[in-house]
Amino acid sequence: MASRSVRTPKDLVASKLVDEADLPTIADVAQRYAVSITPAMQDRIFTVDDPVGRQFVPTGQELLTTPEESADPIGDDPFTPVKGITHRYPDRVLLKPVHVCPVYCRFCFRREVVGPGDHMLRGEQLEAALDYIRAHPEIWEVIFTGGDPLVIAPSKLRPMLEALDAIEHVKVIRFHTRIPVVDPGRVTQDLVEALRLGTPVWVVVHTNHSQEIGDDARGALRRLVDAGVPLVSQTVLLKGVNDTPEALEDLFRTLVVNRVKPYYLHQGDLAKGTAHFRTTIGEGQELMRDLRGRVSGMCQPTYVLDIPGGHGKVPIGPVYLTDGAARVTDPWGEEHAYPPPPPAAATVTEEPGEKGRAGR
């Protein structure tokens, strides 16, 4: 395994992930968007253009911005009452205690605000965020995100979790993280113990291709599940990474075998410099239609769009009902009436003389 994370354009050249001739362009990209590739992911990149390389190795395409792209594509800012809190839905809040990640995905929807530096909530800021949660009894679930919240040392994470565990109306705590896959060595016994509370803790694992999931990642997932932490996954639909039925099938089967339930397949957000990753919604719907007939329901995520401007997340999967729900299409493309027509009434043909004999 590589010995350290790649963090600079010169590191990328030294690791043979970027050509020397492309260094000036990559330096421009790195000045705008953070770069980091963990040793675990370096080992899973077999070629720069493979499904893992495309996710983490910067390219000059990121300097191209289309008119519809935004620095805040899902509209977090208007729903931020205090630093570190996003409260878009009535019963749940995002808690963003840190803005750094072990890897920086080239398609990240928060790429304008994550990166190196001291961005952790501390002291009064953290207490203000917790006070906001305490003061809103409608908050049923707290979702740790960021950045990647599991980069926080267990010794610092534990007090945050204990504070939430003490809030009566908080019934569920959720983590959104890439750590178990991209930096599995961080899933230590100390971390697992920190996640074991009276309040149930769920972990949503972000992974986009089965090539990311090596033996170390499988071990990290196993440590979490064996400790009683339920796991689901989220995946971003990415052109050139997982936009085939075969790639998605392999990923979702791999996850289920490792006791991770596929939860969300996200349409790519309109983040700046990410147009080269986005499929159309129609293409995504066709992929979901292809999956419906070929893999178990356990392997089926919900295909969703986070509506730009902070209007929430909605399912956008294929529709199987037509004609006002009078017809339904099966997984193999054949249409059927619904409800089906009743069977034709049975008719009885009597042989000549039968009635007379029956009356005797």
pLDDT in tens, 157-170: 999 999 999 999 99
Residue 211 has pLDDT above 70, yes or no: yes
- pLDDT value at residue 358: 46
Answer yes or no: 218 catalytic. Answer: no
Answer yes or no: is pLDDT of 357 > 90. no
Angle CA(104)–CA(260)–CA(162) in degrees, nearest 5? 75
292 tagged catalytic? no
Instruction: Kindly name the residue from 44, 88, 111, 186 that is annotated as catalytic.
Output: 88
CA 314 to chain centre: 14
Residue 148 appears among annotated catalytic residues:
no
pLDDT above 50 (res 267) = yes
Q: What is the pLDDT of residues 312-353, one digit of tens each?
A: 999 999 999 999 999 999 999 999 999 999 887 655 555 555
Q: Which of 108, 91, 111, 281 is nearest to 174 (CA)?
A: 91
88 carries an active-site annotation: yes
Q: Mark residue 278 as left, alpha or beta (left: phi above 0; alpha: psi -120 to 50; beta: remaining).
A: beta
pLDDT computed for residue 360 by the predictor: 41
Among candidate residues 110, 178, 272, 278, the one labeled active-site is 110
Choosing from 108, 111, 132, 272, which is the catalytic residue?
108
- Spatial distance between the Cα atoms of 94 and 86, rounded to a whole number of angstroms: 5
User: Does residue 269 have an active-site annotation?
Assistant: yes
- pLDDT of 122 reads 86
pLDDT above 90 covers what percent of the chain? 87
Mean pLDDT, residues 83-96 taken together: 96
226 belongs to the catalytic site: no
Q: For this structure, is 263 an active site residue?
A: no
Phi, psi values for residue 203, rounded to 5°: -120, 125
Model confidence at 58, pLDDT cuts 50, 70, 90, reads very high
The structure tokens listed for 198 are: 């009276």
For 215-239, what is the mean pLDDT? 98
Q: Distance (Å, rounded) from C-alpha 123 to C-alpha 107?
A: 32
Examine the residue annotation and report whether 89 is marked as an active-site residue of this protein.
yes
Per-residue pLDDT reduced to its tens digit, 146-157: 899 999 999 999
Query: According to the model, what pLDDT value does residue 353 have?
Result: 56
Mean pLDDT, residues 238-260 taken together: 98
Task: Please tell me the predicted confidence (pLDDT) of residue 359.
Answer: 47
Annotation says 313 is catalytic: yes
Residue 355, pLDDT above cutoff 80: no
Tell me what percent of the residues of the chain surpass a pLDDT of 70: 95
Averaged over 101-129, what is the pLDDT?
A: 90
User: Of 22, 89, 243, 253, which one is the catalytic site residue?
Assistant: 89
Of the residues 105, 178, 278, 299, only one is catalytic, namely 105
Chain mean pLDDT for the chain: 94
